[in-house]
A and B are shown apart, each in its own frame.
Chain A
Amino acid sequence: MIQVNIEKCGHCGACVSVCPTNSITLIESCLEIADTCTTCETCVTICPVGALVVS
């Protein structure tokens, strides 16, 4: 499962743009990850601040 470190996330939406299953939604300062997420980890690598982690 992908988890968001809200103390790092800058809510920029870069992760949304690369998500192959369109599972991430940015709502103001909150990232919602839907259960269609396949944990491909693309968002984890590309995040500008490393706010996404696999748990």
Chain B
Amino acid sequence: MKDEYDVVVVGAGPAGAYAAATAASECDVLLIEKRQEIGNPVRCAEGVSKEGLARFLPPQKRWIANNIASARIFSPDGTVLEVSEELAGPEVGYVLERKIFDRDLAKRAAQAGADVAVRTRATGVIRENGFICGVKVRHLGESLEMRAKVVIAADGVESQLARWAGINTTLKPIDLESCAQYLMTNVDLLDDCCDFYLGSEAPGGYAWAFPKGHQIGNIGLGALASKLQSKHPIDYLNAFAERHFPDGQPVELNIGGVPVSNAARKTVADGLMLVGDAARHTDPITGGGIINALEGGRLAGEVAKQAVRVQDPSLKVLKQYEAAWRASFGKKLERNYKIKDIFVNLSDAELNKLIRSLEGLRLEDMSVAGIIKRLISRNPRLLAGVRHLF
């Protein structure tokens, strides 16, 4: 580890590792991670679309736990909506092994030439003449300064870097899903199907059961933080597991927060770019963030190279990154935030009505937009608030 780099990336999740790998093809890059193990503990249900992932990586057996061909959505009264994407071939998604996936991404960064450091925590930014030009770090009990032309904040949901740099990314409880999940064994799940449960078992969110094969699965839920009072997500999870998977036994407990906010209003400053969960780039409806983290990482990595090439890490150059992610997935995030706002306040009775309205149909468009469009066409009054978005 040196004390000066072209690019310093803070956080070795998917966003940071992908940004580092991209930038390292031309620049001197340092990727730092505060944990002692990249990828552990897991804070994810590990579901990802096959098509989305293929844009970034060739699939590797070692980080694919399972292939997914369909999904089932359960309403509070148990009505089931089945969705399968027959047109797209038999496998539409994966359940990943994030512990292995995240390490593989870090390995890609290292292979591209980046230095990688674990147990290395950013504790502040170095600012000169209004520019962010490095980070202060603690590394194995020592205080160090790492100077950089460009700093990429990929420090996840708990990002502090942006706030130290003066960009307020604090989440409000109405914009955070508070989650708890067991990796559970002894669960009977369809091996190629992801299940979603709507309703007050997970207020303002949903519960999920994603199979990982061999009677193991991620059984978890997210509740909108503003709807929590005396009970916590772990209490809702215990009740959910007891009801739906009475024989299940946990082998791991994972907890975490998912931003379901609008994207950060500002994702660039002089010398700084925010990516992934730090930029609040998760999808507000599904809570999925892996693909946007990879996409943001790639775009920021490309723009970092450009800034180093033209020796100008100012906002003027870095704002290309903001324009690029907005063009890529910005519109979808905005639309889905508005939809989330309506859906989190539907009652169990209303959710039953919605799912029942599609009962018996076999939906072939597995996208959230596809499903919502069908719901709107059958429930125009109930969903009047989101009709104009399609």
Question: Which residues from B are CB-within-8-Å of A48?
Answer: 178-180, 232-234, 255-257
Interface assignment of B173: CB less than 8 Å from any CB of chain A = yes
Task: State the majority secondary structure of interface residues on A.
Answer: loop
Question: Which residues from B are CB-within-8-Å of A6?
Answer: none
Residues of A within 8 A of B (CB-CB), count: 22
Q: Chain B's nearest CB lies how many Å from the CB of A32?
A: 11
Question: Which residues from A are CB-within-8-Å of B163?
Answer: 22
Question: Which residues from A are CB-within-8-Å of B180?
Answer: 48-49
Residue contact A18 to B225, C-beta cutoff 8 Å: yes
Of the candidates B156, B178, B254, the one whose C-beta lies within 8 Å of that of A46 is B178
- How many Å lie between the Cα of A49 and that of B34 in the bound state? 23
**Beta-carbon contacts of A34-53 to B below 8 Å, as 1s and 0s?**
00000000100111111000
Q: Chain A's nearest CB lies how many Å from the CB of B263?
A: 14
- How many Å lie between the Cα of A39 and that of B164 in the bound state? 21
Residues of B within 8 A of A (CB-CB), count: 35
Residue contact A46 to B225, C-beta cutoff 8 Å: yes
- How many Å lie between the Cα of A11 and that of B171 in the bound state? 18
Residue contact A12 to B234, C-beta cutoff 8 Å: no
Question: Which residues from A are CB-within-8-Å of B352?
Answer: none
Q: Chain B's nearest CB lies how many Å from the CB of A48?
A: 4
Of the candidates A12, A17, A18, the one whose C-beta lies within 8 Å of that of B255 is A12
* CB interface residues, B 141-160, toward A, < 8 Å: 156-160
Interface assignment of B43: CB less than 8 Å from any CB of chain A = yes
Residue contact A25 to B160, C-beta cutoff 8 Å: yes
The chain A residues found within 8 Å of chain B, CB to CB, are 10-14, 16-20, 22, 25-28, 42, 45-50
Given contacts A12-B255, A14-B225, A20-B170, 6 further A-B contacts (CB under 8 A): A12-B257, A13-B256, A14-B178, A14-B179, A14-B255, A17-B157
The chain B residues found within 8 Å of chain A, CB to CB, are 34-36, 41, 43, 121, 156-160, 163-164, 169-173, 176, 178-180, 225, 228-229, 232-235, 253-257, 259
A-B CB proximity, top 10 nearest:
A13-B158, A14-B257, A16-B158, A46-B225, A10-B255, A48-B255, A50-B232, A12-B256, A48-B233, A12-B255
